[in-house]
Every structure is written in C-alpha cells, then in structure tokens.
Amino acid sequence: MGAHRPDEPTWIEPIHNPYLHGIYAPTLYETHATDLEVEGELPSDLFGAFVRNGPNSVFAPKNLYHWFDGDGMVHAVYFRDGRASYRSRLVRTEGLSDEERHGGSIWPGIMGPFDFSLPRGPIKDTANTDLIFHNGQLLALWYLCGAPHRIDPHTLDTLGIEDFGGKLRTTVSAHPKVDPRTGELVYFTLSDDAPFMRYGVVSADGELAHEIPIELPGPRSPHDLTITENHSIVHDFPLFHDSEILRKSGHRVTRFHRDLPSRFGVVARRGSADSVRWFEFEPGYVLHMVNAWEDGDWITMDGCFQPDPTIVRRAEEGELASMLGYLRIRAHLHRWRMNLATGEAREEPLDDLNVEFCLPDTDLYGARTRYSYHQHLPPDMDTVDFRALVKYDHESGRCQRFDYPAGHYGGESPFARRAGATAEDDGYITSFVSDESGRSQCWVFSALDITKGPIAKVELPTRVPIGFHAKWIPGGRLWKQ
Ligand SMILES: [Fe+2]
C-alpha cells in the first residue's frame, strides 16, 4: 500500500481496497493557489475553467467501500491571460454534514447492506459524479439520482440545493444536457417505483418548465441521455437490478438480460408522455454517449457501447470482486441511427478500441459533431486506468492517440474551443494527470493534434485523486462583466 502521505487520511491504512490507495486515495486538503508554475507555455487565449468532480471519502467506510461511494469533491483549474490558478472543495451535502455531526459514517455504501430505515434513504447522496454549468452556476450531481447541489463556480462553495424555481419534486440523475442554442437543461431521473423514469426540461433562467413520466418495464439503471435540436433520447438497457431482491436482501444485484433489447425512447423536447417513440437495438449497456443530432428524418447517436456488460468476477478478489469486475469496462465507439418517419433502426461499431469517458465539444450538444475525446482503458486492467487520451474523427473513423507516460494516469478531458476557431477541433484539451508519487498536474493539449503531447503542464499544489466527470466553462460565461 505504500508509505502514508500527509494529504491522506490515516483511516485508509488498514483497509485493503485499491480504490482507497495510491492514485485513488482521498485527500484531506481543500486548496486554493494562484499563479501556478507552468512547464511549457499556456496559450494566452485559453480562457475559462476546467472543472472536475470525483469521490473523496471524508470518513472511514461503514462497510465495504465502492469507488462510487466517496463524498463529492470539485477540483477546478482557472486559465486567464496565460496564467492558471487552482481550487478544490468538498461538496457539502446534507449527508456529509450529518456525518460530521455524528463523527463518522452513517450510511453503508452501494455494496450494502442497504438500510431503508436510515434518514435520507439507504445510501448517502454524495453529489460526486457530474458537473453541469447552467444558469451561471455549477450543479454537482449524483449518478444514483440525487439533489442537484449548487456550487459557486469561482469559490466552489456549496450554496444549497437547486429546486428550479421551487418546482422540482424529484431527484435528478447525472448527465443532464444543456442545450447550447436555447440554454435549456434537459434531465431524467429514475425510481424503483412505476413509472421508473421521469424526464424534464428546465428553462435557461432556471425554472422547471416541463416534466413527464417515462414508463419503463421495471426499475432500470441508464446513466445518460442525449439531445438533438428538437428531441431528447432516453435509454432503457437490459442491465438492471431486481428491486424485490434489493428490498429483501439489502443488496443491489445487477444482472445482464441478454434476451432483452437495448431501447432508446425519442421524445420531442417538450413532448407528452404518450408521444415517446421506442427503437430497439442489440442488447448491451452504455455509460456515456458522445452526442446525437438530426439529419432529415434520421437521428444519429454515437456513444461507448458495452455489448457484453456481464460482470467478470475474479475469485481471488474476494468480497471486492463485484465492484472490481463492474469497473473493468469493455466499451467501443458505436453509432445508432433511428428513422422517425419509417421507424427503421440501424447500428454499427465505429472502432474496436476500448474507450470511455467521452466528450465532444459540449457547445455542440445536439448538433452534428465530427470529433470526440475519450480515455482508453485497458480491458484487463486491475482498476480503472486512464491509460491514453484518444481523439476520434467520426467521419473518417480514424483516431489520434496519446499514451500517458508509464506511471501517469489521466482522466476525462473536455474540449475548450479557441477564440476565433476556424474548425470544430480548433481548441484545447485539458486533463488532470496524476502519477504514483502523488504529484498532479493539469496538462493542456492542442486538440488539433494530441499526438504531439501536452503544450503546457500546470503544476498543482496538491494531489488530485483520480475521479469522474469534467467540463470546460468558457471564460466569457464565467467572468461576466
Ligand atoms: Fe457518468
């Protein structure tokens, strides 16, 4: 497990769980530093903030620890005039406040056992998964559907829970989409009770404007949704848990039902519940889609498809085998097409490299995109191992790849469009890169050619544990006059 580092909590030491040590170890530090040292030269037109969420457990786990259990922590690198600053802050959820008062963990994590008698439900809403910039603020979101936590994008202080004009009556999943044309926020949420999903639209100024039930055949666990100019696409995959087993045993047992199709439901942006049109495809699972767009009667949607999401357990991993197996993601870039006039459904793989944590230029969500930026994960990895940055050209099928040096690990890498950009990929890619010694940097690539490696490396004052989702906030939106 290595020597103890001063930024790590001492309670991790006796716990044999790879997601609590090394590059995954939680940090005790909440940090602010300006005028960071830079190796290379930061482009003077790199203007905005690179923000990332991720798990960072404050207290020792009550039972087995799953990587998805940690308290949310937001890390941000701000770029302006060729200089960079950094800040990190925990997301101050109500559950974390309860535990601070209690002096330790209250909730077991997602490996259970689920205790339905606990306050606020059987699992803590950690808000650790995703970050969305909408209506001038950041929202921290949880993949199991929770309260959208409002985060000040400058101070990273948790401001409270967003209720969208007092109208939000449900939780919200990770991965809502902000329509760059209208400013609307489009979201879904899940429930173990019928209708099992709800779908909603929040206006650009933060008022819940539309909300409908989406009837699914049972409790499901989709993770993402996509938008086009006029439609939204919700997901129903045959990888799900049995809510009766969960209620009786306290354990969420997820199974892949390979006899059932993958289904995508297309609904007009503010369409009615009875207008959802379902399209069927090969069984499998998708954590993250790249984007979707309209082309005449066709909707095209690209994403990272897992045709066999069966959890491969290694006996020697004992009680952690389910978590470790689930996290060994096997996904490739895939395209689904749906014809709204004929009902025709087509699909095809676009490549076979194992990739996930994909992002296009998010200012083009809902519009045709040619490029996307992914992380390559070796399919036989022991733990989630962001080994290479991959740029796909969805039109030619070609990809560029930059392998992080040995012992260095990246993370989700958003695209920052360059001021005056003349092409879709005319901009920068930012990524946290951490090494095994505890050093973390923020690397900046030219998106035009990532194979040349980073053009600048920003030295961070503290270690950034490997985490989940990242976004780019353009400076013009962040620093409004
Ligand atoms: Fe996600």
Both structure tokens of 103: 């002096």
As a whole number of angstroms, the distance between CA 38 and CA 34 comes to: 12
| Whole-number pLDDT of residue 112 | 87
**Radius of gyration over every alpha carbon of the chain, rounded to an integer in angstroms:** 21
Residue 301 alpha carbon to ligand 1 centre in Å = 17
| Whole-number pLDDT of residue 2 | 59
Compute the mean pLDDT over every residue in the chain, rounded to the nearest whole number. 96
Does the CA dihedral 365-371-375-378 come out positive or negative? positive
Residue 412 alpha carbon to ligand 1 centre in Å = 10
Residue 330 alpha carbon to ligand 1 centre in Å = 15
30 phi-psi bin (left φ>0, alpha ψ -120 to 50, beta other): beta
| Whole-number pLDDT of residue 200 | 98
As a whole number of angstroms, the distance between CA 437 and CA 447 comes to: 28
Q: Would the pTM of this model clear 0.85, i.e. be above it?
A: yes
For the residues of 165-202, what is the DSSP string, one character each?
A: TTT--S-B-S--EE-TTT--EEEEEE-SSTTEEEEEEE
Residue 34 alpha carbon to ligand 1 centre in Å = 30
Query: What are the average pLDDT values for consecutive 10-residue runs of the chain, which has 481 residues?
Result: 83 96 97 98 97 98 96 98 97 97 96 89 96 97 97 98 98 98 98 96 98 96 98 97 82 91 98 98 98 98 97 91 91 98 98 97 98 94 93 94 97 97 98 96 98 98 97 94 50
Asked if 143 and 127 count as a contact pair (C-beta separation under 8 A), the reply is: no
Residue 83 alpha carbon to ligand 1 centre in Å = 30
As a whole number of angstroms, the distance between CA 160 and CA 158 comes to: 6
Q: What are the pLDDT digits (tens) for 388-406?
A: 999 999 998 899 999 999 9
Residue 141 alpha carbon to ligand 1 centre in Å = 10
Residue 223 alpha carbon to ligand 1 centre in Å = 6
